[in-house]
Amino acid sequence: MDSDSQKTIMDFDRNLALRPDSNGRATRIHLVDFRSVPMRAFHLSWVAFFLSFIAWFGIAPLMAVVRDDLKLTKAQIGNTVIASVAITVFARLLTGWLCDRFGPRRTYSALLLIGALPVMGIGLAHSYQSFLVFRLAIGLVGASFVVTQYHTSVMFSHSVVGTANAITAGWGNLGGGVAQWVMPLLFGAFVAFGLDKFLSWRLAMVVPGSLMVVTGIAYFAFTEDTPNNKPFVPRTGGQAFWEAAADYRVWLLFVLYGACFGVEITVDNVAALYFKDSFHLTLGLAGFLASLIGMMNLFARALGGIAGDWAGSRWGLGGRSRLLGLTILLEGLFMVVFSRFKVLAPATAAFLLFGLFVCMACGVTFAVVPLIRPRAVGSVSGIVGAGGNLGAVLAALLFKSESLSGSNAFLILGCIVVLASFCAFVARFSGTNVPVSDVEIMPALMSAD
């Protein structure tokens, strides 16, 4: 066979692989594709979430300077951290409804443009009270996760939707880790130019806020609400939300996401201090070890989504749910093991295994979410996403307790996660051995031909 014939066959095979499903949704993920509607939404959604995560947690690595500037106490700092996570519970519930009502394109653009205001404005804070208000408002940016998952859910076929959701969320979550070293670099750059350090932390926050404005405009200009360019059909009133809220399986996922994403956020906040105090490490080494879980999102959350899609192809929605239960069970067990080690090497190994399964569990969760209530996917995403933040708030209370050591807090939290994992085995699905059909997923969100 000559080279031209081989090229023709290869082109035919490639075009066949790229063929969308009956609703125009992508059946494959091609990372180098920036032209098709689904892949434009894919890339812009993870970039938007990445920037939102930097903005959301950007002030955290600068808190030592902020503390000196505003004369904050330890309790006041703790209150601002909890506030920034707690407000996101309500923001995610609202954002899921907004996606069902107005579509992901307008919702994401508005969220980025409005959220940029407190991110840039936090530099105007000159007291604990004003800083708390800005920190609270910045927490609204955390709702960007819901729009990211909603948009990829409507753009990709059920066969790859878990993978698409996991990659966009995982790459977006990297923003939290990147913020840990980018924001101090920005701060240092302003100081190097001769600016006062108290002015420099304020100016550093203007950078992610400005990038959010640019991304918000680009999102509106370059994405579509539906994969086949049909007009978006809104779910009016509270119909979508109440349809989602009436399904007990949605609330089981609410608990499960709190047990994985909520725990991940909490560990991100406390791990560096735990490593430093428990193993007498330098602040730099402790911070590096703590950052490993966040950096695992580069691949581990995607691995969870891929595994979820694989389980769905073999055992249907019930298979996805059982895999979710297994990953959260292993997450909890390795957290318990981590809490018992007093030697750095085995503790680090257990910590990494915990990190692998907690990130995977987040990915598997959103391989299940789009298929629970397809006509109310925004509201389902919002409720489940809110569960993640509520889990973070509750888990953080363990580590605020003066009566609990760090190791015992990890032990208790690990046991709670193990118990929560059984929620995945309680859920029941009709036809659990049959993969979910394409025709069930998204036609209600798009107008007819």
Query: Which pairs with CB-CB distance under 8 Å and at least 24 residues apart come from 89-94?
Result: 89/386, 89/389, 89/390, 89/393, 90/386, 91/139, 91/140, 91/142, 91/143, 92/142, 92/143, 92/145, 92/146, 92/382, 92/383, 92/385, 92/386, 92/389, 93/382, 93/383, 93/386, 94/143, 94/382
Query: Is-above-0.75 flag for pTM?
Result: yes
Dihedral pair phi/psi, residue 363, rounded to 5°: -70, -40
Strand ranges in 319-393 using DSSP code E only, listed in sequence order: none
Hey, where are the domains in the chain? 36-234, 240-433
Cβ neighbours for 16, distance < 8 A, ≥ 6 positions apart: none
Closest CA to 294 of 329, 323, 327, 261: 261
Query: Which residues in the chain land under pLDDT 70?
Result: 1-19, 22, 236-238, 283-284, 429-449
Closest CA to 412 of 403, 74, 80: 403
DSSP state of 62: G
Query: Which pairs with CB-CB distance under 8 Å and at least 24 residues apart come from 181-187?
Result: 181/61, 182/54, 183/54, 183/58, 183/59, 183/61, 183/62, 184/61, 184/62, 187/62, 187/65
CATH topology assigned to domain 240-433: Growth Hormone; Chain: A; (1.20.1250)
Chain segment 271-282, per-residue pLDDT in tens: 877 888 899 887
Residue 430, pLDDT score: 55
Which DSSP string do the residues of 232-269 spell out, in sequence order?
B----TTHHHHHHHT-HHHHHHHHHHIIIIIHHHHHHH
Residue 360, pLDDT score: 95
Class of domain 36-234: mainly alpha
Closest CA to 17 of 150, 159, 153: 159
Query: What six digits make up the tokens of 17?
Result: 């692989």
Instruction: Judge whether 36-234 and 240-433 match in fold.
Output: yes
